[in-house]
Structure 1
Amino acid sequence: MVSPAHKPDLLRDNELIYGRLLPVDEPHLVERYNKALAAFGLKPTKLKSFDIDRTGFSPQVAEECGDYDYLDPNGVNRRFIILTPSQIDLPVVHTAFSNTSQLMFEFMTKNQRAINALTIKDVIYGEIEDSVSEVNDIEDLLSINQVEFKVLSAEDVLGKAAELGKLVDRLKQEPDAWRNDAMLNRMVELAKVCGDIRENALVPDQVIFRHNAFWTSHFGGLYVFIDPDVTTVISDPSAPGFRRSRPWQVSYLSIRDAESVFKFLASTGRIELPRASWVETSGYLEHRAEMVIRDLIRKSEPDRNLTEVDKVWLQTWIHGHAELINKDGAFPFLNAAKREIKQFGQIRIDEVFPQQRFLLVRARPDHPDAWLTNRLISDFVPSDFISRYVFNKQGFYRDYEGYSEAWRSHVVDMLKTTYLKDKIALRSRLYGLTD
């Protein structure tokens, strides 16, 4: 995974990296966070204030200890620290698996009462435990079918609640238990810590969750899609175990093979083919065309100041660079596709060059894998930095490293005025997504 340790302040200042995190600046919360770090065998932070994401990851703590994987040491069995139930509304900004955010959300949703009660007095921490301790090849990834949240608390409120529950059961079931002064005194001690466990659900109800389709940073980036009869792996063929792990159950596609990847997405109903019903109302092809032109400007004039660029300037640039645009081919292709869709309502996708097909499609919005599919599509359309940022931040940050200072400023300005201005509206209009 690309480490964000030295990203320019431009991204941070505009909340394009580590945005919407939760400030931790109250001494008792900092102290609780340090207790969780100590339980993981890590040094306590000396910071008086820092920010955390949904999992408890802090970019400031990561910088302080010089390790962005301090909560993710082997890229599996992700650690988490929960100081407050409000973490459920935060993003996950550093992870080796794309579904970490969803797993944390499900855990916090299913165990809301326990988390609310526990975090009043304690910090919750633990691991999202997979069935493997480290990932050496694709088989290790495929063996992860479910995860279990191993939950602990610094003051052992969880353990004390469990002990109190057992003593309450003894009191109810053993006729002479009420005569046992030592037991009753112990119950009083425990109740001072746990409160009335009949009212406070201190023990999480559900800790096991299914590990569904995902992207992982392992082996340079790898996708796993799960269908009833087959699991599909899409990665670089150099990944260890490619086409060797469970070939009778697993289909392996090279991420360099645009045709095979596209056929997989289309045949499994994960994408919307270009049809007038959504293309004309979304402005999707116009968006793609503009991104193509802006990328050509970047490649041909990387240091150009684009602060004052508007639609008129872009049109003038297009007229003045017809040879470059025709040689690239993407812009004329998109214009021809628009005309064909307007005339016939759809396009003959089989007649389109495989790489260019990804310019025309989006994930089917109602499919459970919509976000993951849009992420995969963005790998084939790197010119669209807005789609890259929305669905594939690791890829976007990697691209950003190679941009000139002028282009970085332009990209930040574009994201601010398009996506950050109204995220929900842009996702709805371009991608049909409502969440």
Structure 2
Amino acid sequence: MKRLIQRGLMFGNLIRVDSPALIERYNRALKGLAGKQTKLTEFHIDISGFSPEIGEEFKDPLYLNPNGCNRQFIILTVDQKTAPLLNAMFSTSRGILRQFIADNEAKLFALTAHDAVAGELMNSVFDVSDPARLFDIRKITIEADTTQSHVKNARELAEKIDHFQTAPNAWYDDDLIAEMIDLARETGDVTRVPVDLGVQEYEQGNFWTAHFGGLYIFRDVENPAVVVSGDKTRLAVPPPGKVLDTTDANRLAGFLSRNDLVGPVVQERGDGGAAILRQKMEFILVDAATSAGLDLGDMSSRTLRHVAQRMGAHLPDAFRGLAAMVRWAEAGGQWPRIDSRHPAYFYTLRARPDHPDRDLINRLLSELAPMDFRQLFICHKELFYAAYATWPDEKREFVAEFLHRDYMANKAGAREALFGGRKDPMKMPRITRGRTQEDMIEIVGPWGAVNRR
């Protein structure tokens, strides 16, 4: 994994914590949440405040996520909103945390100037040993406060101020005035700088979870189903409702089609999607060549074409299927017949750009087309890292260098060029709070506009 770390492809964008004051605040929050404290004098944290170094120190990668069900968090700075979420057990968790920080950025900025903010992503489920319990997770509630109860005190002070301003003869209540002065010393002027975070609620509709080896819960679609990573028979207690698995391509393709979740990468002749398919062909070729022990040379596109020529009849069917699609789009060849039985089928699809669960759908597609390592890295990092550890060394070098050179150098530009964006993202928030209709989270990949055929 050193190549990935050195190129910023793993543990990238984490927040460095090396200030004694910040470490002290972190330890106070950690003591309150987990009953532990770190002895490290330097570490890095993700958006939730989880530190891989502290996880190693405690020999517990879930020290802020007991049972992998209700994620706890520690916020030292609002800069954490740009950090990744490590060891994610639910696909919605980072979006909820990012939205929470964005919704309360001014308040959190004021609070973290003096203390750490600690909280929890709470739902009504505390144990997910039974897959059926996952269907009980509908709403995520966040309650947070500093270790010195600034939010609680600010709420109490606001109530006293209201009483002071409305109750008869409150102006003459010396005890009330003394209590307000004492609280104000802790909270500051809450009338000018409100710090009450309130209770935030977020809906969790369709989602992915790492539990039980990986499950995709699609319940807010016309034809609900659970998609199991691998063979569904490995579940001792299957979840309720229709159960599909990633080994049954035909039924899975029917599910995606019936719910109108996907569209083709290439829609018409001359479509720019052909360039995307060409790169997918290179990724498939690299996988096949390194598995066969062939030398990739300087790994340039020209060298890879020579590798394809040497492989000849041994080229994978997925490569040949995409090549036929590219010929149709660019050179006027015949329309290739590629159905769900063809190895290239899922490589030709992408999520509808206007679907509110676009990222979740593309996560599933990346698992169904795993040789497209770029999509796997963007949409399903957990699976990418697991797959990377099994690849031949030459493929690891190619993948690390490609992602560093062609993706990390300009992530926003690369995503826009590869995936496009929604026509009106403001109308399609992926995670919405229960209290307002104006919520909007960051829209991240993957696909451009696709017309229905």
TM-score (norm: length of structure 2): 0.86
- Which SS does the other structure have where 2:384 is aligned? helix
Do structure 1's residue 322 and structure 2's residue 322 form an aligned pair?
no
Unaligned runs of 5+ in 1: 1-7
Name the CA distance, whole Å, in 2 between partners of 1:373 and 1:112: 30
Name the CA distance, whole Å, in 2 between partners of 1:25 and 1:38: 18
Name the CA distance, whole Å, in 2 between partners of 1:354 and 1:136: 36
Change (3 A) 1:345 1:160: farther
Alpha-carbon offset, residue 98 of structure 1:
1.1
Change (3 A) 1:259 1:345: same
Partner of 1:170 in structure 2?
163
**2:41 is aligned with what amino acid?**
K
Partner of 2:281 in structure 1?
289
The superposition leaves residues 79-98 of structure 1 with CA deviations (integer Å, 9 ceiling, x where unpaired) of 01111122222222321111
Alpha-carbon offset, residue 230 of structure 1:
4.7
**1:369 is aligned with what amino acid?**
D
Task: Pick the aligned partner of 2:363 from 357, 370, 375.
Answer: 375
Task: Pick the aligned partner of 1:254 from 239, 245, 261.
Answer: 245
Alpha-carbon offset, residue 424 of structure 1:
2.0
Partner of 2:438 in structure 1?
none
Partner of 2:235 in structure 1?
239
Q: Percent identity?
A: 31
Alpha-carbon offset, residue 38 of structure 1:
0.2
Do structure 1's residue 266 and structure 2's residue 252 form an aligned pair?
no
The superposition leaves residues 185-206 of structure 1 with CA deviations (integer Å, 9 ceiling, x where unpaired) of 1211110111111112211145
Change (3 A) 1:352 1:190: closer
Alpha-carbon offset, residue 341 of structure 1:
4.2
Alpha-carbon offset, residue 347 of structure 1:
5.6
The superposition leaves residues 297-328 of structure 1 with CA deviations (integer Å, 9 ceiling, x where unpaired) of 121117x5x46222222122112111321xx3
**1:143 is aligned with what amino acid?**
D
Partner of 2:293 in structure 1?
301
Unaligned runs of 5+ in 2: 423-443, 445-453
Name the CA distance, whole Å, in 1 between partners of 2:236 and 2:334: 44
Partner of 1:5 in structure 2?
none
TM-score (norm: length of structure 1): 0.90
Do structure 1's residue 365 and structure 2's residue 357 form an aligned pair?
no
Partner of 1:130 in structure 2?
123
- Which SS does the other structure have where 1:280 is aligned? coil
Q: Is the 8 A contact 2:4 2:400 kept in 1?
A: yes
Task: Pick the aligned partner of 2:141 from 145, 148, 152.
Answer: 148
Task: Pick the aligned partner of 2:104 from 98, 111, 125.
Answer: 111
Aligned length: 418
Name the CA distance, whole Å, in 2 between partners of 1:29 and 1:253: 47
Alpha-carbon offset, residue 115 of structure 1:
1.6
Partner of 1:81 in structure 2?
74
The superposition leaves residues 167-226 of structure 1 with CA deviations (integer Å, 9 ceiling, x where unpaired) of 112212322223332222121111011111111221114511101221111010111123
- Which SS does the other structure have where 1:147 is aligned? strand
Q: Which runs of 4+ in 1 moved over 4 A?
A: 344-349
Name the CA distance, whole Å, in 2 between partners of 1:433 and 1:65: 42
Q: Is the 8 A contact 1:56 1:81 kept in 2?
A: yes
Q: Is the 8 A contact 2:319 2:344 kept in 1?
A: no
